Structure 1
Amino acid sequence: MRKIIFILLCLLIVNTSVAQNLNSPDGNLTLTFRLNDNGTPSYKLLFKGKTVIDESKMGFTFNSLASFTEKFVITDTKFSTSDKVWQPVWGEQKDIRDNHNEMLVSLNQTSTNRKLNIRFRLFNDGLGFRYEFPVQENLRHFTIKEEATEFKLSGNHKAFWIPADYDTNEFPITISKLSEIADLIGKVRQEPLAAKAPAPGLAIQTPLMLKSDDGLYINIHEAALVNYPAMALNLDDKAFCLSAHLTPDKNGNKGYIQTGTVTPWRTVVVSDDARAILASKLILNLNEPCKLEDTSWIKPVKYIGVWWEYFTGGSSTWAYTDNPDIIIGQTDYSKLKCNGHHGANTAHVKEYIDFAAQNGFDAVLVEGWNEGWEDNWAYAKEHIYSFTKAYPDFDVKELHQYAASKGIKIIMHHETTSSAINYERQLNDAFRFMVDNGYNSVKTGYVGPIIPRSEYHDGQWMVNHYLYVAETAAKYKIMVDSHEAVRPTGLCRTYPNWLAQESARGTEFESFNGNKPDHTTILPFTRLMGGPMDYTPGIFQGDLSVYGKNKAKLSTTLVKQLALYVTMYSPLQMAADLPENYKRYSDAFQFIRDVAVDWDNSYILEAEPGDYITIARKAKGKNEWYIGGITDENAREAVIDLSFLPKGQKFHATIYADGKDAHWINNPQSYTIKTVTVTSTTKLKQRLAPSGGVAISIK
């Protein structure tokens, strides 16, 4: 009898160790999970019979514990399906469908009797999987040495990449074959940035966009990054295998974990149509539903600000004085003489408030309002700024009343110079100060190396910090726009007051010739896969030499700047240029005044990463549509199919187009505006100049 039971148990283990298959709802994607002869977990992903991810290993290595990569048996496999529609607080569309098939595999490591679960979700647009550590007797607290997850590719794909760096996401994007990255990465890493901590070895960042020779578009990233370090990717450029590279602290530890928790989802979005990559909502679907009971106070924002003037090379500065001998908490600014070019002064901010009110904007961002900017590059200092004390020439009460009388909000700015621990000490006082003075949104900044000094921007401690700021802000009904933070992973679904992030190379780099014409044709396929970006478009005066010292020139035409309001999705959109430039080009400025920041639906009309994007969107609750089309350094003809319009109706379309002689290098401000009648059967053909665009409003 005992022999029979033993044989049955052996058969059970063998049977539960065979390959497990999972198909997407439409049947185009197939996931295979299995254990190899050594009990190592692995998975494989096919799309329409083509290999997306070849057999790739899974698991972990721990500090001071046996490896969690082998000698597993499958103890249970559960399948389920889900098909539901949910409504985001704001977004690219009012309804999002979550349709997936799920497989939960329960594993037991026979050598240690430790348990590990792996949950797979297969959508029509890709795969998400995460590790789950159940509470168990033989494992409670542990430290991750590395995550062993692999993404073994089928060939030498074209890649759109930046180097893996623990402290910055602001490198320019390079396009190359995977095999060419090793020869290029050293030069790319020389880019001068405020803080850099290069990952050792050959490693690149996520979201990573790839295109295979057989026509597959593949995007690799993560979703729901909570209490865990951000993931970069090691590259084996001979086998074309990527593997997880978690951001460590400066002691080399990757993550401090306890059972009863889960990892972020590892995501693979795939299609043979580039438009489907941009349309994917897989990462949002893998995040938890909204945790805020009341979201009525969360509103998308279109804003201007005392900001770009600091970059143009004029005389405006963040600092009140030119005195470097400032000690926060001890220096009495009322006894100091203003330098005469402090931008955030009461009279100047009122000018911005007036302009915002006259042109239908919601808010005005003011940088440099608070004490401490004289010392803002002192990265080694823990206490630089006060977040409750304004400079003498910035009258908080008067500006609150003045802005309120005009129906305008002022956006608070909290630059921390990466002294995150000091920011946390002041956080509740800072948010109470905001509430008391009528502020409902804040732009946070993390320039420079992190304090605590043992941490990086993308490590577990800072991942928790950014979320703590968003959670705390929600308690005060404050919206957050975080700059220099870890790249987003869809947490804006769970915390919709976290409106946007920078976390990439934005418009400010244009002020020192830092972006290329193809930059914004790539970002929607890379950085924006995880969530909206505060890119700050709308620069009309692209030749900064007109201001004096700065000789930089923008890498776009004026019309391309208009189109970015549609192609670079964000519920937080800035008209970043100086008001006088909008007055000079008031007819083109009309598009920025009109364009929506929240949408009922979005239609990806044309897309090829690194080359061009054309997107149409329907404004939330209105019979208005806006279209943006952009191209790289090559001129092209966009074909704009208006079949998304209601049938049987006529509409007026105002087309903002590059002039015949427009060119981003020598004639960026050449444009034309015309109005035509269109219907759902109309197909517009529009020439885009080199690094040019087209912007269309339909009413």
Structure 2
Amino acid sequence: MRTIFVLLGLLAASVTVNAQTLTSPDGNFKMQFHLSDEGKPVYSLMYKEKEVINESKMGLQISPSIAFDRNFSVVETKIDSCDTVWKTVWGQNSEIRDHHKELWVALKQEKSGRLLNIRFRLFNDGLGFRYEFPVQNNLRHFTLKEELTEFQLAGNHKAFWIPADYDTNEFQITTSRLSEVPLLIDEARNEPLACKSPTPNLAVQTPLMLKSDNGLYINIHEAALVNYPAMHLNLDAETYLMSAHLTPDKNGNKGYIQTGSVTPWRTIIVSDDARDILASNLILNLNEPCKIEDTSWIKPTKYVGVWWEYFTGGGSTWAYTDTQDVVIGQTDYKQLKPNGHHGANTAHVKEYIDFAAKHGFDAVLVEGWNEGWEDNYAYAKEFIYSFTTPYPDFDVKELQAYAASKGVKIIMHHETTSSVADYERQMDDAFRFMKDNGYDAVKTGYVGPIIPRSEHHDGQWMVNHYNRVAEKAAQYKIMVNSHEAVRPTGLCRTYPNWIAQESARGTEFESFNGIRPDHQTILPFTRLMGGPMDYTPGIFEGDLSVYGSNKAKLGTTLVKQLALYVTMYSPLQMAADLYQNYEKYPDAFQFIKDVAVDWDHTYILEAEPGDYITIARKAKGKNEWYIGGITDENSREALIDFSFLPKGKKYQAVIYADGKKADWRTNPKEYVIETRTVSHKTKLRQKLAPSGGVAISIKEL
């Protein structure tokens, strides 16, 4: 017994030598790192003495058959700290504090001599860590087979999830316990989306939002996704172990890596207050600073567009003609018969330019302006569109001059239908065409399976493509709004011209598959954690049957659509409805005209994922504040505390509220508008209708 005791003591001492503890600046987080008896890297995380991540293994599997997760010894460790403030080009706050402590660990495999470093950063809102591959003699280029990072959760948490899929993030969000995911995932995947490639095993996507039974809110995602595949999360629904599942190419390889590089950061944001999750800047702080020297041309934008009419069922089309037999570069469209329904024609675009100018909007988006929409069958052909040749009824020069005379920009649209190889060939010409014709912003699209046909939307090759588009566009001083792209990871800090993304289920789904009333109360906790979303709110006419055969109905009240301009953060905001519908409700439309798109400060007033969110924001450089509050399918009373206002002054608040009988199912368009005086002492109790909201504009008296 004495000998055993001595051996146990020696083992404990060995573990202690390798063990490292990192504490957050405020002392609430404690992260521990050590090597197991097999030399495996292991970490754990606690928040206010509560377990967040129990001991979880780390490492990678690389080819040829190299287990890069064991037989390590610690060569060196370094502790560092940072407390700085940086200014945003645009954002929810004009300044962001980066306050963290850092642990850097250098590892060496005992027999092979291969080297691997791990860097941890612990903030007051959570943990980020990444792998770093130092240049070394016996390892230069390698194929990544899988990342072996684990997240051993401490319980059967409530989860807000969508199924892991290599090609889409547009599923409805499901709310369930982790143990229930296996029972629900087939139903969740049963969506008629443009392109689906489900993981072969049980897995969900990030950002993943969780709530524990002991009151912790936990968000798992990644930051700075560069030259690496996007991460999903495998799930063991019995032990609540989650582990990295990287998007492969269709050969099964996850990535092609060279030493001297790093992985994205794995992020774990935690609090016992849901408001802190929405207020977190951890993901932005883990990205590199802005690489664009002159950012004066990057402008937050409010826009309208020739877009929603394509979804309403009213007959407007992207295509100029009904003729299917077209070949880009060979077909003379002037010889073809127009179908009479083409939306992107010169006269119609002028109507939107006039409307934008009259109501103070910055820009007009035009989809369907260019040749190729007749025969855009995904995966069937590689050469689909021209990005420099307009249809015969779209006069580029005339519209450029007309828009400029009204002080309005036109936003270019590059839908690729995922023929990315062809878009790469045309990209320089396309951006040069934009600059020659006065366009400084582009909406890109990637509907359908990717060409090259060996790639997925979320794989390494496509990640590099999206980043390359942002870099190339910056060279031409063009802003990018990417749709159907990999979900964002904070790279808008590094390339602030990447001004927005879709990368989730947006408003267009209101016109066909539908959106549940709790959807917008979850997205800020999931998809928006990595960056702003071009959600395209502002639909006033929610009954699409008024246009024709489409029987879809909006899943919100009209006032909730107003509130989304505050709760769904984006520096690129669209008034997405037909302009005629805004003319019917000019008093409600006034909020959309007034609301800012760039902010000095953001205040999260109330929040509970899946239930409700209330947010206040101060407009950048103005003494104006805006509040948005939304709820799920349940009516509720929002408590709005105005203590964020400066003391000693009076303010005029215009309150846009659901009417007494408002209900998203039966009476969505009933609203009332009230003006009252408020101060920092004011507390307002405001009733929200089922799937309703409240929107408030505040100006100094």
Into which bin does the TM-score normalised by the smaller protein fall? Answer: over 0.9
Q: Distance in 1 between matches of 2:477 and 2:340?
A: 36
Deviations 1:461-499 (A, max 9, x none): 000000000000000000000000000000000000000
Q: Distance in 2 between matches of 1:292 and 1:269?
A: 28
Tell whether the 8 Å contact from 1:56 to 1:150 is kept in structure 2 after alignment: yes
Gaps of 5+ in 2: 1-9
Alignment CA distance shift 1:15-1:216 (3 Å): closer
Q: Letter of the 2:93 partner, please give it.
A: Q
2:4 maps to none
Tell whether the 8 Å contact from 2:378 to 2:418 is kept in structure 1 after alignment: no
1:617 maps to 617
Q: Letter of the 1:386 partner, please give it.
A: S
Tell whether the 8 Å contact from 1:16 to 1:75 is kept in structure 2 after alignment: no
Tell whether the 8 Å contact from 1:60 to 1:67 is kept in structure 2 after alignment: yes
1:60 maps to 60
Deviations 1:574-632 (A, max 9, x none): 00000110000000000000000000000000000000000000000000000000000
Tell whether the 8 Å contact from 2:378 to 2:449 is kept in structure 1 after alignment: no
1:269 maps to 269
Question: How far off its partner does 1:62 sit?
Answer: 1.2
Q: Distance in 2 between matches of 1:17 and 1:35?
A: 10
Alignment CA distance shift 1:120-1:110 (3 Å): same
Deviations 1:425-448 (A, max 9, x none): 000000000000000000000000
Question: How far off its partner does 1:380 sit?
Answer: 2.1
Deviations 1:675-694 (A, max 9, x none): 00000000011000000000
2:580 maps to 580
SS in 2 for 1:316: coil
Question: How far off its partner does 1:65 sit?
Answer: 3.3
Question: How far off its partner does 1:66 sit?
Answer: 2.1
Deviations 1:611-659 (A, max 9, x none): 0000000000000000000000000000000000010000000000000
Q: Letter of the 2:293 partner, please give it.
A: E
Question: How far off its partner does 1:17 sit?
Answer: 4.5
Question: How far off its partner does 1:378 sit?
Answer: 3.9
SS in 1 for 2:52: strand
Q: Distance in 2 between matches of 1:57 and 1:266?
A: 13
Q: Distance in 1 between matches of 2:666 and 2:364?
A: 32
Do residues 444 (structure 1) and 436 (structure 2) align? no
Q: Distance in 1 between matches of 2:368 and 2:61?
A: 46
Q: Distance in 2 between matches of 1:510 and 1:438?
A: 33
Q: Distance in 2 between matches of 1:14 and 1:33?
A: 13
SS in 1 for 2:592: helix
Write the mapping of 1:380-459 to structure 2, written as runs, cut at 5 A.
Answer: 380-459=380-459
Question: How far off its partner does 1:64 sit?
Answer: 1.0
2:643 maps to 643
Question: How far off its partner does 1:337 sit?
Answer: 1.4
Q: Distance in 2 between matches of 1:15 and 1:162?
A: 39
Tell whether the 8 Å contact from 1:656 to 1:694 is kept in structure 2 after alignment: yes
Q: Distance in 2 between matches of 1:469 and 1:484?
A: 14
1:4 maps to none
Q: Distance in 1 between matches of 2:501 and 2:333?
A: 32
Q: Letter of the 2:278 partner, please give it.
A: L
Question: How far off its partner does 1:14 sit?
Answer: 4.2
Question: How far off its partner does 1:16 sit?
Answer: 7.9
Q: Distance in 1 between matches of 2:415 and 2:314?
A: 21
1:632 maps to 632
Tell whether the 8 Å contact from 1:16 to 1:76 is kept in structure 2 after alignment: no
SS in 2 for 1:67: strand
SS in 2 for 1:561: helix
What TM-score, normalized to structure 2? 0.98
Tell whether the 8 Å contact from 1:155 to 1:212 is kept in structure 2 after alignment: yes
Q: Distance in 2 between matches of 1:16 and 1:454?
A: 47
Write the mapping of 1:134-145 to structure 2, written as runs, cut at 5 A.
Answer: 134-145=134-145
Q: Letter of the 1:574 partner, please give it.
A: M
Question: How far off its partner does 1:190 sit?
Answer: 1.2
Do residues 514 (structure 1) and 514 (structure 2) align? yes
SS in 1 for 2:53: strand
Q: Distance in 1 between matches of 2:179 and 2:626?
A: 40
Question: How far off its partner does 1:111 sit?
Answer: 2.2
1:379 maps to 379
1:672 maps to 672
Tell whether the 8 Å contact from 2:169 to 2:504 is kept in structure 1 after alignment: yes
Q: Letter of the 2:191 partner, please give it.
A: E
Q: Letter of the 1:411 partner, please give it.
A: I
Tell whether the 8 Å contact from 2:88 to 2:493 is kept in structure 1 after alignment: yes
SS in 2 for 1:615: strand
Question: How far off its partner does 1:525 sit?
Answer: 0.1
Q: Letter of the 1:73 partner, please give it.
A: S
1:533 maps to 533
Deviations 1:171-197 (A, max 9, x none): 000000000000100111111100000
Tell whether the 8 Å contact from 2:15 to 2:34 is kept in structure 1 after alignment: no
Deviations 1:537-579 (A, max 9, x none): 0000000000011000000000000000000000000000001
SS in 1 for 2:73: strand
Q: Distance in 1 between matches of 2:655 and 2:513?
A: 29
Tell whether the 8 Å contact from 1:209 to 1:526 is kept in structure 2 after alignment: yes
2:205 maps to 205
Alignment CA distance shift 1:17-1:166 (3 Å): farther
Question: How far off its partner does 1:513 sit?
Answer: 4.4
Write the mapping of 1:261-410 to structure 2, written as runs, cut at 5 A.
Answer: 261-410=261-410
2:172 maps to 172
Tell whether the 8 Å contact from 1:232 to 1:244 is kept in structure 2 after alignment: yes
SS in 2 for 1:533: coil
Q: Distance in 2 between matches of 1:339 and 1:347?
A: 16
Question: How far off its partner does 1:514 sit?
Answer: 1.5
Deviations 1:46-99 (A, max 9, x none): 000000000000001112132011110001110000000000100000010000
Tell whether the 8 Å contact from 2:231 to 2:244 is kept in structure 1 after alignment: yes
Q: Letter of the 2:143 partner, please give it.
A: T
Question: How far off its partner does 1:512 sit?
Answer: 1.5
1:658 maps to 658
2:69 maps to 69
Q: Distance in 1 between matches of 2:414 and 2:655?
A: 39
2:499 maps to 499
2:546 maps to 546
Q: Letter of the 2:455 partner, please give it.
A: E
SS in 1 for 2:454: coil
Consecutive aligned runs of 4 or more in structure 1 exceeding 6 Å deviation? none
Q: Letter of the 2:600 partner, please give it.
A: D
Tell whether the 8 Å contact from 1:646 to 1:680 is kept in structure 2 after alignment: yes
Deviations 1:241-295 (A, max 9, x none): 0000000000000010010000000000000000000000000000000000110
Do residues 162 (structure 1) and 165 (structure 2) align? no
SS in 1 for 2:18: coil
1:7 maps to none
Q: Distance in 1 between matches of 2:147 and 2:548?
A: 51
Tell whether the 8 Å contact from 1:614 to 1:629 is kept in structure 2 after alignment: yes
1:121 maps to 121
Question: How far off its partner does 1:15 sit?
Answer: 7.6
Tell whether the 8 Å contact from 1:29 to 1:45 is kept in structure 2 after alignment: yes
2:36 maps to 36
Q: CA RMSD in A?
A: 1.2
Q: Distance in 1 between matches of 2:404 and 2:335?
A: 30
Question: How far off its partner does 1:18 sit?
Answer: 2.4
Tell whether the 8 Å contact from 1:166 to 1:196 is kept in structure 2 after alignment: yes
Gaps of 5+ in 1: 1-9
Q: Letter of the 1:221 partner, please give it.
A: H
Do residues 132 (structure 1) and 135 (structure 2) align? no
1:559 maps to 559
SS in 2 for 1:474: helix
Tell whether the 8 Å contact from 1:17 to 1:73 is kept in structure 2 after alignment: no
2:146 maps to 146
SS in 2 for 1:235: strand
Alignment CA distance shift 1:173-1:431 (3 Å): same
Q: Distance in 1 between matches of 2:271 and 2:465?
A: 35
Deviations 1:96-126 (A, max 9, x none): 0000000000100102110000000000000
